Structure 1
Amino acid sequence: MQSEVPKAMLTEERRRWIVAALEREGKVVACELSRLLDVSEDTIRRDLRELAAEGRVQRVHGGALPAPRVSANYAVRATQATSTKTTLARAAAALVRQANVVLVDGGTTNVEIVRHFAPDLHATVVTNSPPVAIALADHPHIEVIVLGGRMFKPSRATVDSVTMEGVRGIRADVCFLGVCSVHPETGVSTLDFSEAHIKRAMVASSAEVVAVAFGEKLGTAAPYLVAPLAELTQLVTEASVSEEFLAPYRAAGVTVLQA
């Protein structure tokens, strides 16, 4: 973190500086901010609380991490970065083998993944996502099992106790996990409490866990933890993400595929 900073900043100026430092460094530590900005740690904690309330940072013990930039509107997300999403989805779909039982979580990227399953693929897909099931309705060789329960509208996926019971009754070969945030220190996290429980059960029920994530989702953290980074088997992300940025993911034992 840079050592020379403006002194006697106004509150909003200081908070903008904190956000800029977070984007630059990947995390900020409250005691270091207090020293650099020449204000009390109480002031810094108050700044971080306000920034978190605005969705600009994710508070963690002792400081903050970047917050995910995710639209709550499913229809909007479905139209974003379509060419990149298609590229990543095609690479992820190729990971599925014949006769696999595939657990597919909700999310617009996962819908795109199943659209790229090979026409001659024989597999069983279990999903809590009606859009995923519909995308596979005309596939000639894939059996589709839809998990019931209350639908969480932002992801158009079921997330209640009925869903949980269904997930726990499965032993999948591979799971495509819907991803909000992936951070080297905090692991996989999401924005909804109920959704986090379902995702956690999916991880526990799967031999391999694949996360397909745009570069902007890496290095961010959301409020509800899903799994440590080491529980991911593969991470599929953009070719433009630097090797330096991906090194901590590889060090955790995650196979990184760039497309």
Structure 2
Amino acid sequence: MLTSQRKALIAERLNREGEIVAKTLAGELALSEDTIRRDLREMAAEGLLKRVHGGALPLVPPLPDFAARQAVASDEKAALGARAADMVKPEQVIFVDGGTTTAALARALPRGFAFTVVTHSPTIACELERHPTAEVVLIGGRLYKHSMVTGGAAALEMIRSLKADLYFMGVTAAHPTHGLTTGDMEEAATKRIIAENAAATFVLLTQEKLGRASPWRIMPLPAATGLIVPAGLMPEVLAPYRDLDVEIVEA
């Protein structure tokens, strides 16, 4: 098999199955594992996939700026946000992550009873400016402009002093093996600490984030209480996540 044919097969398999295991593919093609690894290295250098230990994953492209992301999959995000908002109960303290999907959640939060929203996102706080019953606590720190959240020592000190009933997490990717990931090392650490200080963590996931991985791991999938995903996904898409005994909430 020519190199170009192998790479085309790898790209097709990666698109269909969401990962490549070098040892398995080498056995199927009766090739050496070194040959497959070399192909994966070359494809990674060309920006076609992400190399990981033992194989490869689809490449998650760099995020566009916050304003541009607001227009992407807006109906899907609205449905996820509405389903997450239904989980909120009176007098709870909820932590709402930054992001365009969680902004949809903020807009859908119930207005018939009192609760507290803690966030490190000025954008989320602004969404709640006119909310009649939500007490809003905004965590300060250095602003990460691409995702519109604060971070750094001051933010982490405040987060560690908090015990939230619910944490609604935003991520850039979720993969059964490689877990919940994001594109920034500091943000990954911040999200992990928020989850450690919450009684329950639910992750809002648009379809495009499933089966992918970003550079920085937040935590393994089973560490989350549940995943909120779009309704109507094919059973085989969700099967690897259900196998991890994590709650799947369809929106």
1:208 maps onto 2:215 in alignment:
no
Q: Could you say which residue in structure 2 is the equivalent of 1:239?
A: 231
CA distance in 1, matches of 2:22, 2:173: 22
The CA deviation at 1:142 is: 0.9
Contact 1:70–1:180 (CA under 8 A) maintained in structure 2: no
Please tell me the residue identity of whatever aligns with 1:211. V
Q: Structure 1's 176 and 70: CA in aligned 2 closer, same or farther, altered over 3 A?
A: farther
1:251 maps onto 2:225 in alignment:
no
Task: Report the TM-score, using the length of structure 1 for normalisation.
Answer: 0.89
Q: Could you say which residue in structure 2 is the equivalent of 1:3?
A: none
CA distance in 1, matches of 2:46, 2:69: 20
CA distance in 1, matches of 2:223, 2:47: 27
1:18 maps onto 2:24 in alignment:
no
CA distance in 2, matches of 1:235, 1:47: 34
Please tell me the residue identity of whatever aligns with 2:86. A
The CA deviation at 1:225 is: 0.8
Contact 1:105–1:129 (CA under 8 A) maintained in structure 2: yes
Q: Over aligned residues, Cα RMSD in angstroms? A: 1.9
The CA deviation at 1:53 is: 4.5
Q: Could you say which residue in structure 2 is the equivalent of 1:80?
A: 72
The CA deviation at 1:55 is: 4.6
Q: Could you say which residue in structure 2 is the equivalent of 1:178?
A: 170
Q: Could you say which residue in structure 1 is the equivalent of 2:3?
A: 9
Greater shift, 62-71 or 202-211, is seen at: 62-71
Aligned sequence identity (%): 41
Task: Report the TM-score, using the length of structure 2 for normalisation.
Answer: 0.92
Contact 1:234–1:256 (CA under 8 A) maintained in structure 2: yes
Please tell me the residue identity of whatever aligns with 1:251. D
2:113 to 121, 139, 142: 121
The CA deviation at 1:152 is: 1.3
Q: How does 1:20-39 map to 2 (within 5 A)?
A: 20-35=12-27
The CA deviation at 1:238 is: 1.0
Q: Could you say which residue in structure 1 is the equivalent of 2:146?
A: 154
**Structure 1, unaligned stretches of length 5 or more?**
1-6
Instruction: Tell me how many residue pairs correspond in the alignment.
Output: 251
CA distance in 1, matches of 2:35, 2:194: 40
1:55-97 superposed Cα distances (whole Å, 9 cap, x missing partner)? 5323221101223356332111111111111111111111111
CA distance in 2, matches of 1:250, 1:201: 25
CA distance in 1, matches of 2:180, 2:17: 20
Please tell me the residue identity of whatever aligns with 1:226. I
CA distance in 2, matches of 1:215, 1:113: 17
